[in-house]
């Protein structure tokens, strides 16, 4: 078996704003396995400035992984413990290699085109006019759940945007989620949550920065608005440490990005811990290309979680790979009529 790695720069169709800055490009990496006639591919979806494995030796670790592919998946996953995005790439690549087709990782009603995954429509940060135009676009496209990034522009302006949505759409018509990406100060967070709760929001992601466990626990205890942990889960590898976070903070939800928390195995561990505490969860992509998004979506479908998932990122780029993944009326579909076109994989109908 031979393994190689490849870099790809994804270009955003339009600059996308977050509380950590404006994104114009997204770097991603692929592990490609060849064993006789069989091929496998996995995406290592690193997010610079957010991924715990955003370190200078990242490419060196990818090279090491390919050179030691003979060790097998289980040994590699242990060795790559502090490189969750590469762990996920390895998981995908081995599963892809063993599958009937390179991109058919988890056969289900989803991959048969008989079942779709409800997803949220993502609203990026920007000025009020830009955000309002995105909201209108998502509503017209049939989304019943919208996720809005907040924390970068004036808070009062953000409240007005939410107010304008609620004037037209009741909570029973449109589910609203907001994502603060840790933008609120602990001393101001509760007041802001109280004001946000007036708009009957479903939840808020990561209101304060991760690593402030006691402050987050206090906030989750008294919040008028359900809190979902996101960044809080990044960089936590030890099972006991994971349990401590969930048991101490007692959030209303957790959000899992496989590329950031150790792939399928790392995500499953968090899910198991959360469910024992009666804490619900959903899955979100981390701006991967369609290769990684496909791997996440197929796995997510097998979990049978009925909440809208965060899997609507495939249409963000001008140079994404052609795939059967399509979005229709607020849901992610697998269109079997469409084929894959990923240059690394020679069989383009895979």
94 and 236, same domain (yes or no): no
Residues marked active site are found at 149, 257
Give pLDDT, residue 168: 86
212 and 326, same domain (yes or no): yes
pLDDT in tens, 210-250: 999 999 999 999 999 999 999 999 999 999 999 999 999 99
205 and 94, same domain (yes or no): no
Dist. CA 333–CA 222, nearest whole Å: 38
Give the count of domains, the chain.
2
Give pLDDT, residue 263: 97
222 and 297, same domain (yes or no): yes
Q: Answer whether residue 347 is part of any domain.
A: no
Q: Answer whether residue 112 is part of any domain.
A: no
Give pLDDT, residue 20: 62
- With vertex at residue 151, the alpha carbon angle to CA 221 and CA 24, rounded to the nearest 5 degrees, is 130
CB 21 within 8 A of CB 151: no
Give pLDDT, residue 19: 56
Q: Which of 151, 153, 146 is nearest to 130 (CA)?
A: 153
CB 258 within 8 A of CB 88: yes
Give pLDDT, residue 114: 96
Give pLDDT, residue 282: 98
Residue 281: CATH number of its domain: 3.20.20.120
Give pLDDT, residue 123: 86
127 and 208, same domain (yes or no): yes
Give pLDDT, residue 214: 97
Give pLDDT, residue 306: 94
Q: Answer whether residue 344 is part of any domain.
A: no
Q: Answer whether residue 108 is part of any domain.
A: no
16 and 160, same domain (yes or no): no
**Low-confidence residues in the chain, pLDDT < 50:** 348-349
Q: Which of 273, 313, 318 is nearest to 296 (CA)?
A: 313
Q: Among 98, 129, 161, identify where a domain stops.
A: 98
Q: Answer whether residue 70 is part of any domain.
A: yes
Q: Which residues of 319-337 are buried (b: 16+ CB within 10 A; e: fewer)?
A: ebbebbbebeebbbbbeee
Residue 92: CATH number of its domain: 3.30.390.10
How far, CA to CA in Å, does 79 sit from each of 32, 33, 34, 44, 96?
A: 19, 19, 22, 16, 21
221 and 132, same domain (yes or no): yes
Give pLDDT, residue 348: 44
Q: Answer whether residue 349 is part of any domain.
A: no
268 and 310, same domain (yes or no): yes
Q: Which of 208, 271, 220 is nearest to 248 (CA)?
A: 220
> How many helices and strands in the chain, by DSSP H and E?
11, 13
Give pLDDT, residue 278: 97
94 and 122, same domain (yes or no): no
| Domain extent for 53 | 2-98
SS3 254: strand
201 and 328, same domain (yes or no): yes
C-alpha torsion 232→234→238→242, nearest 10:
30
Q: Answer whether residue 342 is part of any domain.
A: no
Q: Answer whether residue 209 is part of any domain.
A: yes
83 and 184, same domain (yes or no): no
pTM score of the predicted model: 0.95
87 and 146, same domain (yes or no): no
């Amino acid at each position: 078996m031979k393994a190689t790695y490849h870099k790809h720069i994804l270009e955003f169709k339009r600059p996308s704003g977050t509380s950590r800055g404006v994104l114009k490009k997204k770097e991603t990496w692929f592990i490609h396995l060849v064993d006789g006639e069989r091929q496998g591919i996995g995406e290592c979806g690193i997010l610079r400035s957010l991924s715990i494995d955003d370190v200078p030796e990242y490419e060196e670790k990818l090279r090491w992984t390919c050179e030691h592919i003979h060790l097998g998946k289980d040994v590699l996953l242990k060795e790559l413990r502090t490189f969750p995005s590469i762990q996920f790439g390895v998981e995908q690549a081995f599963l892809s290699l063993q599958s009937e087709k390179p991109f058919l990782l988890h056969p289900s009603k989803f991959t048969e085109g008989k079942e779709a995954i409800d997803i949220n429509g993502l609203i990026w940060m920007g000025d009020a006019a830009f955000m309002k135009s995105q909201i209108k676009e998502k509503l017209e496209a049939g989304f019943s759940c919208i996720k809005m990034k907040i924390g970068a522009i004036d808070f009062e302006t953000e409240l007005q945007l939410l107010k304008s949505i609620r004037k037209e759409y009741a909570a029973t018509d449109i589910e609203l989620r907001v994502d603060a990406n840790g933008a609120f100060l602990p001393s101001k967070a509760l007041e802001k949550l109280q004001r946000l709760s007036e708009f009957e929001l479903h939840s808020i992601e990561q209101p304060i920065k991760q690593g402030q466990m006691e402050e987050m626990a206090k906030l989750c205890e008294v919040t008028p608005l359900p809190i979902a942990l996101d960044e809080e889960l990044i960089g936590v590898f030890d099972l006991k440490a994971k349990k401590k976070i969930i048991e101490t903070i007692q959030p209303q939800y957790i959000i899992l990005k496989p590329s950031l928390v150790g792939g399928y195995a790392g995500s499953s561990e968090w899910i198991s811990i959360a469910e024992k505490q009666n804490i619900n969860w959903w899955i979100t992509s981390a701006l991967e290309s369609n290769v990684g998004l496909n791997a996440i979506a197929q796995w997510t479908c097998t979990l049978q979680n009925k909440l809208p998932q965060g899997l609507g990122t495939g249409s963000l780029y001008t140079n994404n790979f052609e795939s059967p993944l399509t979005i229709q009326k607020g849901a992610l579909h697998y269109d079997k009529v469409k084929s894959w076109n990923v240059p690394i994989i020679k069989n383009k109908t895979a």
